[in-house]
């Protein structure tokens, strides 16, 4: 369960480069909600995810995960609660370590002590089973270095690792955008399967509006640091890409009108 309460984040405050990335943003996700996030470039989507993950402190407001404020919890501690997959396939895994060592590290997330990258026979068996579900043959390459894998294989592995410890919230930041269409489709299908099987509460940023409509049970649209539209359930399922484009256009027109009135 996630509760984002009136958060704001301004970069380079009080300088000529000041950028209000998030403006009084609130969002509640019930357990099992799968919310897709769309918005134009610079709308604040990644900043919202980074705020939840603890990449930087927010200026105002609070963030609750499972009912507890994480505002003062550093990013490495939040990692036990928050799973992440980034756009860059290189970002979620350690290239110099083997597949099984990466998986062992994922099990370790958010814990103070443990086996580290140590791999026991029991763990190895579990890793093989989990990797087989990716249908990429990685279960036979446990000791291969992750740096040797393709982008699609690394994203699939990152996804598996992110879901491994059943995080309270899974954050997906355009995680299929850097892949070719076939690999993107495979990772999208895996996403649906893992989220559904583990009943993961998920927030997924995408620029692909068809994907935003077809995946998940809710969709939010951001603009200039605010959530400006939300649709869920049957209404979401019946939404078309044209509907969303019309929303974008009307918001931009409204902003331009506001500015014109202020001029
Ligand atoms: N670490 C940072 N330092 C300074 N400015 C930042 C930082 N992160 C984001 N911004 C600025 O905050 C605003 C929102 O950026 P953000 O990356 O959240 O947008 P986005 O909706 O994810 O955009 P995109 O679709 O292009 O990825 C932008 O103007 C961006 O330049």
- Quick check: CB of 19 below 6 Å from ligand 1? yes
State the ipTM, two decimals. Answer: 0.97
Q: For residue 77, is pLDDT > 90? A: no
Spatial contact of 180 and 155, defined as CB atoms under 8 Å apart: no
Q: Would you state the structure tokens that stand for residue 33, as one six-digit string?
A: 């909600």
pLDDT, tens digit, 9 for 90 and up, residues 2-15:
999 999 999 999 99
Q: Is 45 in the pocket of ligand 1 (CB under 6 A)?
A: yes
Predicted local confidence at residue 257, as pLDDT = 53
Atom of ligand 1 nearest to the CA of 49: 18
Cβ atoms of residues 95 and 161 within 8 Å? no
Integer Cα distance of 170 and 120 in angstroms: 27
**Which atom in ligand 1 lies closest to the alpha carbon of residue 225?**
14
Output the pLDDT for position 234.
Answer: 94
Is pLDDT of 263 > 50? Answer: no
Residue among 44, 6, 10, 53 at smallest CA distance from 26: 6
Decide if pLDDT at 261 tops 50: no
Q: How confident is the model at residue 110 (pLDDT cuts 50, 70, 90)?
A: low
Position 80 scores a pLDDT of 85
For ligand 1, atom 9, name the residue with the nearest CA.
47
Ligand 1 atom closest to residue 48's alpha carbon, by position in its atom list: 18
Structure confidence by residue, pLDDT tens digits, 232-258: 999 999 999 999 999 988 877 665 455
Query: Which of 15, 16, 21, 88 is the best mutation target for the ligand 1 pocket, counting ligand atoms within 8 Å of the beta carbon and taking the most?
Result: 21
pLDDT above 50: residue 113:
yes
Average pLDDT of the chain?
90
Paired strand residues for 172: 85, 204
Closest by CA to 45, choosing from 160, 174, 146, 166, is 174
**The pLDDT value given to residue 262:** 44
Residue 115 pLDDT: 56
Instruction: Tell me what pLDDT residue 165 has.
Output: 77
Residues 6+ apart with CB under 8 A from 228: 221, 222, 251
What is the 137 CA–ligand 1 centroid distance (Å)?
37
Q: Please write down the HEC assignment for all residues of the chain.
A: CEEEEEEEEEECCCCCCCEEEEEEEEEEECCCCEEEEEECCCCCHHHHHHHHHCCCCCCEEEEEECCEECCCCCHHHHCCCEEEECCCCCCCCCCCCEHHHHHHHHHHCCCCCCCCCCCCHHHHHHHHHHHHCCCCCHHHCCCCEHHHCCHHHHHHHHHHHHHHCCCCEEEEECCCCCCCHHHHHHHHHHHHHHHHHHCCCEEEECCCHHHHHHCCCEEEEEECCEEEEEEEHHHHHHCCHHHHHHHHHHHHHHHHHHHHHHC
Q: Which CATH number fits domain 2-223: 2.60.40.10, 3.40.50.1000, 3.40.50.300, 1.10.3720.10?
A: 3.40.50.300
Give the span between the Cα atoms of 257 and 263, in whole angstroms.
10
Residue 130 tokens, joined: 């989990």
Give domain limits for the chain: 2-223
State how far the Cα of 120 lies from the Cα of 80, in Å rounded to an integer.
21
Beta bridge partners of 205: 37, 173
Closest residue by Cα to residue 84 from 161, 184, 153:
161
């Amino acid at each position: 369960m996630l509760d984002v309460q009136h958060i704001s984040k301004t970069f380079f405050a009080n300088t000529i480069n000041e950028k209000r990335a998030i403006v009084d943003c609130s969002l509640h996700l019930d357990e099992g909600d799968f919310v897709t996030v769309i918005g134009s470039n610079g709308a604040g989507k990644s900043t919202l995810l980074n705020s939840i993950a603890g990449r930087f402190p927010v200026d105002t407001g609070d963030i609750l995960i499972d009912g507890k404020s994480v505002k003062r919890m550093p990013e490495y501690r939040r990692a036990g609660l928050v799973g992440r997959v980034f756009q860059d396939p290189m970002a979620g895994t350690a290239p110099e370590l083997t597949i099984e060592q990466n998986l062992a590290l994922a099990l370790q997330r958010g814990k103070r002590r443990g086996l580290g990258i140590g791999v026991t026979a029991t763990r190895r068996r579990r890793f093989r089973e989990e990797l087989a579900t990716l249908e990429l043959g990685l279960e036979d390459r446990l000791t291969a270095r992750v740096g040797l894998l393709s982008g699609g294989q690394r994203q699939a592995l990152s996804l598996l690792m992110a879901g491994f410890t059943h995080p309270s919230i899974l954050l997906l930041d355009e995680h299929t955008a850097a892949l070719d269409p076939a690999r993107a489709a495979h990772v999208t299908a895996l996403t649906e399967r893992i989220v559904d099987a583990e009943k993961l509460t998920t927030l997924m940023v995408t620029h692909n509006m068809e994907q935003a409509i077809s995946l998940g049970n809710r969709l939010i649209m951001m603009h200039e640091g605010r959530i400006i539209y939300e649709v869920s359930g049957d209404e979401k399922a019946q939404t078309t890409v044209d509907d969303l484009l019309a929303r974008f256009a009307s918001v931009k027109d409204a902003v331009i009108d506001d500015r014109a009135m202020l001029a």
